[in-house]
Every structure is written in structure tokens, then in C-alpha cells.
Structure 1
Amino acid sequence: MLLNVHIKNIALIDDANVNFTDNLNILTGETGAGKSIIMGALKIGMGDKLPKDIVREAGKEGFCQLLFLVDDEAVLEQIRQLGVEPTEDGEILITRRIVNSRTINTINDMAVTAARLREVSALLIDMHTQHQQQTLLKKNEHMKLLDKFGRAAIEPLKREVAQRHADYTELVDQMDKLSMDEAERSRRAEFLKYQIAEIESANVKAGEDEDIEHQYNKMVNSRDIVAAASEVYSVTGYENQSSAGNEIGRVLVNLKGIKELDDEIDGLYSQLENIDALLNDFNVELSNYMQSMNFDDSEFREVESRLDVINDIKGKYGSTVDEVNRYLEESKAEYEKLSEYDEYIAELSGRINKAKKLMIDAADKLSAERKKQAKLMCKEIKTALSDLSFMQVDFDMVFDRLSECTANGIDDCYFVISTNVGEKLRPLYDVASGGELSRIMLAVKSCMAVEDNIGTLVFDEIDVGISGRAAQAVAEKMALISRKHQVISITHLPQIAAMADSHYLIEKSADEGKTVTKIVRLSETESITEIARLLGGASITDAVMSNALEMKQMAEKTKKY
């Protein structure tokens, strides 16, 4: 459930801190007091895109914070799978800070993206707005509601259909790529044959390109290499009187004559002897290296020619030897298919037919389960609609079959409704009025709430277009839903306000030359006064107050049953 909402410097809200309670939380206020701003702030906290100029005072930080308490272990595990760790007591603290048009999002002090914030908040709160109920007028939204209602049974079947559809589509794509006339097929086969022969004749081994390039670079630079090596040999060898080898040999003779006189000299003599041996070994290896650099023009031309062949092959068929070999294998496979085209096409056609049958079978199973879940859902919605003063209502779902199976199955389904005796069922998107649509959406939400683990439901003026007995029915239904889910609702109807377990007033006022919106929780007496305002407008008489008190008392009795 949503424990607390803290909003600062957002639109007309300077600083609002609201604690919500279990069951039914109702917000009321005068037109223009800022009720929509509260809903907007909630949506911001849930990760919605920030409206332009949402920050009240430029240069100051905008702040929106939502504190949730989650006691459902399944929901907590889903949150953990999204990389967010709840506190030990199950608290989730969502914070959005807006500084200089930049937004900083955190959940339990961990920085997250807006997308991740939306994923987490979707597990915690379901917000219904006037705009959302318009989705009932969109045919393609009806199946989404059904799939959500029966997702435990439907989701595995949807995954199966999606996989079967992907398998089938991949095979059809293969067939499309191979579909060509005989002349085109012959040309393609000859071209592949030529490429295969060219690559195989080159016979490039793994790593050979690097070895040959190294040899080539060595040969090209051999003159410079030998010149530099000769200079080193001249300095370190024995050819010149001043070479290091000769000089060390000379001083060894000097040390040998005195090493018997002092043990320390003897140790130094041994070190220099080692240096002389190492230098001698170095010069032998350097001499051998220089001799290895002697090669004739034919060797160079051979290496150069081989490098040209390798680079030519790599230039045509891949930037590396591995890519060339992979292209060779793919070309061989395609050539084999073209060489045995009729047999391969026959085999591929058989695989396509089999894949299509598996896909259709999976889609039929999905369709059957959807129809089963639709009966359950429509039955629950019909009952809920009866509770919402649809006296002679009938509600069902029509299933049509698509001409082609999709990754989502083969169903084209939509809700149908009849609200009068003798009236045939007609598509919901054709017949529902504004007031009816509000109640139908509430009925749908009440059924979905049973299936969902979401703890908080938010309704933004779901009572638009209704009054009288229908308004009372909506109030009772919301109270019923709030027994198992926290409900937060903005309303302008006294019947719904009277049903509140916690009643909040949203009011606009002038404070130090600024217009601000405030939210205060009302006492029972204050709540009755607000209900009277909703009943009687600006003039609140004793009769209106008495009516408001009676309405509150009747609501309390209703909630006990």
C-alpha cells in the first residue's frame, strides 16, 4: 500500500506531505483546487514523462516521493528480480528530484532509470484516469485485458505460440530466399562454385596471414635491421679494440692478478666473469640473427606473392581468416542446397508445413484457454455491473478468427454489451456512454483487482457522468474493492465521499502572494461538512448538514456488511 506522498515545488504545490491509510481514501475539493495536480504528481512519481515547466519555482529543486509498504512475498520477489532490494520490513521508497531540467530517480536510495522506475511502480500501484477508460473503446485493448485477467493460464500458452510463430517465420524466410527460377539458380550456383574454388585454392591456414605479414615486414626492413644490429655487434663484440667484449676481457686480466689479495675482489671478479659470459652469449645470438637475415630475391618474391594472395582473399570474403572460412562453409552449404534444389525445397516445404501445424495447434490451445477465461471474466464483470446499477445487463466477449496466425495467436476478440431487455449484444466500443463507460471500467478494475497482487488502486474521477442511484452503487463497489486493496480516489460525488475511511480536502489558497494547493486530512466532523458542500454547493443549510450526516451514517452501516 501507499503510505506517504511528499511533493515539493511541483506545479501549484509548494510543499505537501500526505499520509494515506488502508481501505478507501477519498480526495475532494472545489473545481480548480488542484485535484488533477495531485494525480499528476503521483504519475510523475511513478515514472511518467515530466510535463514542461512542471517545477513551480525555476532554480529550485522539484521533488516527488512515494513510500510503499509491501507485504506480499510474490511482489517483493518480482521487485528483487528487477534489481531493487526492499528494506527488511518491505518498504519501497521512490524518489524523483528535478534539478535544472535534469531528473534524478532513486528507489531505496539506489539510482535507477525512469524505465526501471515504471517497472517497479507498476507492481505497486494501478492508476485509472479518465483517459484510461477510453481504452475500452479500442478493440485491440480488450484482448490485453483478457490476457491480464487470465495471465496465469494464458501466459505460458502465449509464449509457446510466439516461439512456434518465430520457428515458422524463420523457415518461410529461408524458402523466400531460395525462391528463384532455374536460370537464376544456375547462375548463383556457378558463382558460388567459383568462389569456393578460389578460397580453397588459396588454402589459407589459421594464423598464416599474421605469420606471412611478419616475414614480409622483416624482409622489407632487413637492411635497416642488419645495419642497426651490426652497430650493436660492433659496440658489444670483439672486432674493435674498444668493443665491450675486448674491454671486459682486458679488465678481467687485471682483476685476476689481484683477486687472491682480497676476498671482496674475488667476488667482483666472479661477477664480471658472468657478465663476460652473458655478453659472449648475446653476441653469438646476435651474429646468428644477422646471418638469418640473409635471403635472396626469390624468397622475398615468394613471401610477397603469398601475402598478396591472402590479402586478396580477405578483401573479398572477410576481414579475418576465420571470417573467410565461415563464408566458405556458408557458401558450400548454399551450393549444396542449390545443387539438390528440388530435394531441399521438398524437405523445407515439409518442415514448413510441420511448423505451421505446430503453430496453429498452439494457437488453438491459446484460443481455447482465452475463451475459457473470457467466460469467467465476463461473468464477474456482469455481476459487478449489476452491482453498479446496470439492471438488465448482459456482457460477453466475441471471438473471431484471424486469417493468419500472429505471434499473439489467431484471435480477434472484443467485448459486447446489452444494457436493456430485448436489446441484442453490440460491441462495447459502439454503445457505451460516458457515464456507462466509467462504471464499466470500475467493474473491469474490480475483477482485475481480484487477479492482481497490486496493493494500491487509484481512481481519478471515475464517477464522471453518473449520479443518483448509480453514484451510490459506484461508492459501494469502491468500498468493497477497498476491503482487499488500498483505494485512493478523487471524486465530486457526496455518495462516494461519504464512503471514505480517510477523507482529504484539496484546497487552493493565497500564501505570501503565491497561489498554493494544500492537502489536509479531515476529521469526521470536517468530512461531514465537506459532504454537505458537495450536496448543497456554497449555501450549506441545516437541512443539508443533516442530509450529509445521514449519508455518512448510512455509508458506515453499508461498509459493515
Structure 2
Amino acid sequence: MLLNLHVKNFAIIDEVEVYFKDNLNILTGETGAGKSIIIGSINVALGGKVTKDIIRKGADYALVELLFQVEDKDVLTAIGELDVPLEDDQIIISRKIMNGKSICKVNGETVTTNVLKSIASLLIDIHGQHEHQSLLYKEKHLEIVDRYAKDYISDTKQKLEAVYKDYIEVKNKLNELKIDDDKRLREISFLEYEINEIRNAALKSGEDEVLGAEYRRLSNAKAISEGLGNIHGLMSNQESGSAGDQIGRSVKSLTKLVDYDSSITNFLNQIVDIESLVNDFNRELSEYLSDLNNSEEDFNSIEQRLDLINHLKSKYGNSIAEILKYCEESEKKLEEYNNYEDTILLLTQQQKKSEEQLNQLCEELSVIRQEKAKELTHKMKEALVDLNFLDVKFELVFRRLDYYTDNGFDESEFEISTNPGEELKPLAKIASGGELSRIMLAIKSVLADKDEIDTLIFDEIDVGISGRTAQKVSEKLSMISKNHQVICITHLAQIAAMADAHFIIEKTTDGITTKTSIRNLNETESIEELARILGGAVITDTVIDNAREMKELAKGTKKF
């Protein structure tokens, strides 16, 4: 569960810290107070998109930190497999945003946003504003049943994706090769020209780097020659006053002195060694200069070779390795064109085999989907009854596409009937905004039990509902919160009354800056907030009494 949220310099939030509770956490507040910003900060911390205005005006960075307590051993194992360090079954997630970049950390270790999203999918499910509208698109419906059935279809889907990839490659290859004879002969001629051009160049791996270095050296031969020539003059023993000349004189002087004192022999030996090193240095330097001064022919040869290599790079690849790979692929293609009939026959057989495998896997996937869809829709109907759809019929209708995809050949769509005697119709055609909200809540509740997601967040799941329906939604949220931590933003008193922990989000301004704050309400304050929601600007004793009664009724409901 989400234990703690710490937000700093985020949008209009200066700094807030929230300690969430088990069960049902309700967030209320005036319109524009920043309720959705709180949820938005959680979403950003879990790898969500960062916008330019996310950093509070005048601040250098924005920071969001989340503390989760994880008791599910399977979830901990899955998180550990992402190379995330685990500490006392707690996960601390932080994201710091600075100048368009962000640093994501989990338990102190820097991670990528992709890892962050993977962890988030194991810990929390966030229902954002307007997410229920995604149910208007039937593509979403197949995603829902696949999520419900993921433990049963994941292996089949992996195999399907691999076979589909092979199938498409063979199919594209066939389409590419199926050309008329004239075009095929032109293609053969063109391939032969390209292959000969590359093979005649006799390229060697890495030679462009070696030649490039030598080219740069020879391009600067004059500067190198002048610099080393000066050094040679300073070191040569043939130049009066040079280092070599001075060392030679020192050797002669020490040789004479040895006769007077044998201990001087040590100095003589050292200077002789130095003289030998200087002589070797001068000889090698002289040879280098000689080679450098006679390298014009080599320079021209290297330049021509590099020109050829760069010409081939401009046509066939950015490196010699890519050029040689292009040549190998062209040779393979040429062989296919030269053995055209055999190649077409082989590819046709491969396509047939891939199509048979593909059809079998698509059939397997479809059977599992339809079987699990029955379970899903049965649980959905139970959840929808809880949400005041009293005579609801709810089915997932499957249709077979006339082509294959990497997700099978199924197309599915939820169909619903909310009144006795009505035929089932596509969800998108008959469901209102309020109905879509409740249907999405039902889906979330069923999937949460299936996925064993610990924390569910709902940002205004109550859109478009009121009265008895709002009461049923509040009861459903309370029921869900018995097995999951629920955090919910609401504008409805019926839902707020069900809170096990009630937080108010408030906005204050001093005329210059605006700040959002959040605090946990006690029983009396919660009743006052319910009265504000019920009564608006004028809160009478009657409204207070109604709020208190609503709170007491909610407590009675939660006992069952």
C-alpha cells in the first residue's frame, strides 16, 4: 500500500506530505484547489509524462517521493527481478525534475522511467480523469480481457508474436521477389554491379581507421618534420653545442679523470649509458624523418584509398562492416533471383507453414480469450449490479478478422443492456458518461482482484452520477477497500461520507503566490466538509445535521 506521499515545488504545490491509511482514503476540496495535481504528482513519480509547467514558479526543481509497504512476496520477487534493491519490504520511489530532465530512484538506486513504470504496474492502478471514455473504443475491450486472462495467454501470445514476425518477413519477401522477367533481369544486373564494386575494393575490417590515422599524420608532415628537425639539431652529436655534443665532451673528460680516481668510473658508466640512449634516439629520429620526407607517394596512395572507401560508404553503409554486410545481403538476393523458381517455391512453402502455425496459435488464443471472457463478464455483471445496474446484461462479443495480426485474429466489443427486454448493443452506442464511469469502476474492481494490485486510485470516478447511484458507487468503493487500499477524489458527499480517512485539499493565496495544501480531517471536520459539499456557500444547522446523519449511515453500511 501507499504509505506516504511527499511533494515539493510541483505546479502550485509548495510542499505537502500525506500519510495515507488502509481501506478508503477520500480527497475532497473546492474546484481548482489542486486535487488532480495531487494525483498527477503520483502519476509523474511512477514514470508519467513531465510537462514544462510542472516545476513551481521560482523553484529550480520539482520532487515527488512515494513510500510503499509491500507484503505480497510475488510482487517483491517481481520487483527484485528488475534489479531493484529491497529494504524491509518497503519501496521508496522518488523523481526529481530539473530543466526538462528527471532523475528517477528506487530505494536510492537510479533507474530508468521504463523500470519505474514496470514497478508501478505491480503496485498501483490509477484511474485518471476521462479514462472511462476509453471504453468507447472497442480496441480497449480486447486489452481488458487479455489483462484478465494474462496468466493463461502470455505463453501463447509470445509464440504468436514470434511466428507472426516470421510470417510477415516471408510474405514481404515473396511480394518483393514476385516481379516480371524484365525487371528481374535489371535487378540482377544492378546487384552484380554493386557486388563487383564492393568485392573489387577488397575492403578489410578496420582499415579505414588505420588509414585515417596515417592520413592525418602525413597531412601534417611539414609541421612534424620541422618540429622533429629542430629537436634532432638540439640532440645530434654532430652539432656544436647540442646535447649530443655536450654529452660526448663529458665522456672524454670523465675518461681522463678515471686514471686519477677509480670511483669516478660510476659517473663515467652513467654518462656512457646516456650517450648510448641519445645516439639511439638520434638514429631512430633520423630514420623517421627520412621516411617522412619520402612519404609523398604513400600519402597519395592513402588519399586515393580513403576516397574509394568513403565513396562506398556513401552508397552502401556508414562503416566497412555495414558495406560488407550489404554485399552479403546483395549476394544472397542475387542468388535468389538467379534461382528464381526454386526460391519462390521455397518461400511459398515457408509461408504456408507459418500460416498454419499462425492459424493454430490464433485459434488457441481465441479459445482461451472466449473462455476467460465468460468469467470476466459474469464477474462484471455482479459488480454492475452492486453499482445500481439492476437488470443488466453484459457480454463480450467476438468477431474474427479476415487477416492475421501479432495479437491474433480476434476483434471484440463489450455489449450491454441496462433495461429488461432490451437487446444487447455496443457499449459505445448506448452508455452515458455516468454509466461508463460505473462500468470502468466495475472493470477496475474485477481486474484488481485478478492482478492482486494493492492500491487503486480514482480521480473523479463519480462523474455523471448522483442520488441512489452515487450511494451505490460509494458502497462499491468501500467494498473494494476491504481488500485494497483505495484513494479517491470525489465531489459527492455520498462517497466522501464513506471515508476511512478523509483529506481536504485547500488552496490559499497572498495575492502574489498560490499554494495548495492537504490535511487529514478529524470526525468533526469531516462532517463540516460534507456539509460544505451538500450546502454550498450557506451551511445551516440542518445541513450539518444531514451531513452527520450521512456519516452515521455510512458507518452502518461499512459494517456489512
Query: TM tier, shorter chain?
Result: 0.7 to 0.9
CA change 1:154–1:523 in 2 (3 A) is: same
Matched position secondary structure for 1:140: helix
Report deviation, 1:522.
2.8
Tell me the residue number matched to 1:85: 85
What do you get for the CA RMSD once the two structures are aligned? 4.7
Q: Matched residues in 2 for 1:347 and 1:89: separation? A: 56
In 2: Cα distance, 1:17 partner to 1:207 partner:
58
Shift of 1:21: 0.6
| 1:337 paired residue number | 336
Distance 1:470 1:278, change over 3 A: closer
Corresponding residue number in structure 2 for 1:72: 72
Partner of 1:454: 453
Match of 2:309 in 1: 314
Moved more, 465-474 or 81-90: 81-90
Shift of 1:454: 2.8
Q: 1:328–1:308: structure 2 CA closer, same or farther, 3 Å change rule?
A: farther
Corresponding residue number in structure 2 for 1:25:
25
User: Does the 8 A contact of 1:233 with 1:287 survive in 2?
Assistant: no
Q: Deviations over 1:409-445 (max 9, x none)?
A: 2111111111122211111111112222221111111
> What percent identity do the matched residue pairs reach?
42
Distance 2:26 2:480 in 1: 14
The question of whether the paired residues in 1 share the 8 Å contact of 2:2 and 2:67 is answered with yes
Residue 265 of structure 1: how far off its partner (Å): 3.5
The offset of 1:446, in angstroms, is 0.7
Classify the secondary structure of the residue corresponding to 1:348: helix
**Structure 1, 342-351 or 469-478: larger mean CA deviation:** 469-478
CA displacement 1:464-484 (0-9 Å, x = unmatched): 333343223222211111011
Q: Distance in 2 between matches of 1:199 and 1:28?
A: 71
Structure 2 residue 419 is the aligned partner of structure 1 residue 437: no
Deviations along 1:497-530, whole A, 9 cap, x unmatched?
3322122334556768977654333333443454
| 2:133 pairs with 1:168 | no
3-state SS of 2:130 partner: helix
Residues of 2 paired with 1:306 and 1:294: CA distance? 15
* Structure 2 residue 146 is matched with structure 1 residue 157: no
CA distance in 2, matches of 1:317, 1:442: 61
Deviation at 1:450, TM superposition (A): 0.5
The more displaced of 100-109 and 181-190 is 100-109
SS across alignment from 1:500: coil
Match of residue 190 from structure 1: 189
Structure 2 letter corresponding to 1:127: I
Q: After TM superposition, list the pairs within 5 Å mapping 1:303-382 onto structure 2.
A: 314=309, 317-318=312-313, 325-382=324-381
Deviations 1:129-181 (A, max 9, x none): 34011111111111112222222222332222222121122222333333332
Moved more, 491-500 or 11-20: 11-20
Cα gap change, 1:244 to 1:353, in 2 (>3 Å): same
Aligned to 1:469: 468
Residue 559 of structure 1: CA displacement?
2.4
Distance 1:458 1:207, change over 3 A: closer
Report the 3-state secondary structure (helix = DSSP H, G, I; strand = E; otherwise coil) of the residue aligned with 1:520: strand
Moved more, 76-85 or 166-175: 76-85
Alpha-carbon shift at residue 88 of structure 1 (Å): 3.1
1:470 and 1:294 map into 2 onto residues whose CA distance is: 95
CA distances 1:101-128 after superposition (whole Å, capped 9, x unpaired):
8766555555666665555444433222
Question: Contact (CA 8 Å) 1:317, 1:323: kept in 2 or not?
Answer: no
CA distance in 2, matches of 1:479, 1:126: 17
* 1:70–1:90 contact (8 Å) kept in structure 2: yes
Question: In structure 2, what is the Cα distance between the partners aligned to 1:254 and 1:85?
Answer: 73
Structure 1 unaligned segments of length 5 or more: list them: none
> AA paired with 2:309?
K
Quickly say closer, same or farther: Cα 1:269–1:179, change in 2 above 3 A.
same
Aligned to 1:136: 135
- Check the 8 A contact 2:5/2:19 in 1, yes or no: yes
SS at match of 1:483: coil
1:383 to partner: Cα distance: 1.1
Is 1:2 paired with 2:34?
Answer: no
1:505 aligns with 2:507: no
Whole-Å Cα distance in 2 between the matches of residues 385 and 485 of structure 1? 19
Aligned pairs, how many? 553
For 2:201 and 2:512, locate their aligned partners in 1 and report how far apart those are by CA, in whole Å: 86
Structure 2 residue identity aligned to 1:22: D
Q: Any idea what SS the aligned residue of 2:457 has? A: strand
Q: Highest CA radius of gyration, 1 or 2?
A: 1
Distance 2:83 2:307 in 1: 50
The one-letter code of the counterpart of 2:189 is E
Closer, same or farther: CA 332–442 of 1 in aligned 2, 3 Å: closer
Read off the aligned partner of 1:432 and give its amino acid letter.
A
SS in 2 for 1:424: coil
**Offset of residue 447 of structure 1:** 0.2
**Structure 2: stretches of 5+ with no match in the other structure:** none
Equivalent residue number for residue 520 of structure 1: 519
Contact 1:24 1:479 in 2 (8 A): yes
Deviation at residue 41 of structure 1 after TM alignment = 4.4
* Alignment-derived partner of residue 94 in structure 1: 94
Paired letter, 2:428 = Y
Q: Which 10-residue stretch deviates more, 452-461 or 268-277? A: 268-277
Query: Structure 2 CA distance, aligned partners of 1:204 and 1:101?
Result: 45
Q: Which amino acid aligns with 1:170?
A: E
Asked if the contact 1:400/1:411 (under 8 Å) is kept, the reply is yes
Q: Could you tell which deviates more after superposition, 25-34 or 382-391?
A: 25-34
Contact 2:237–2:248 (Cα < 8 Å) also in 1: no
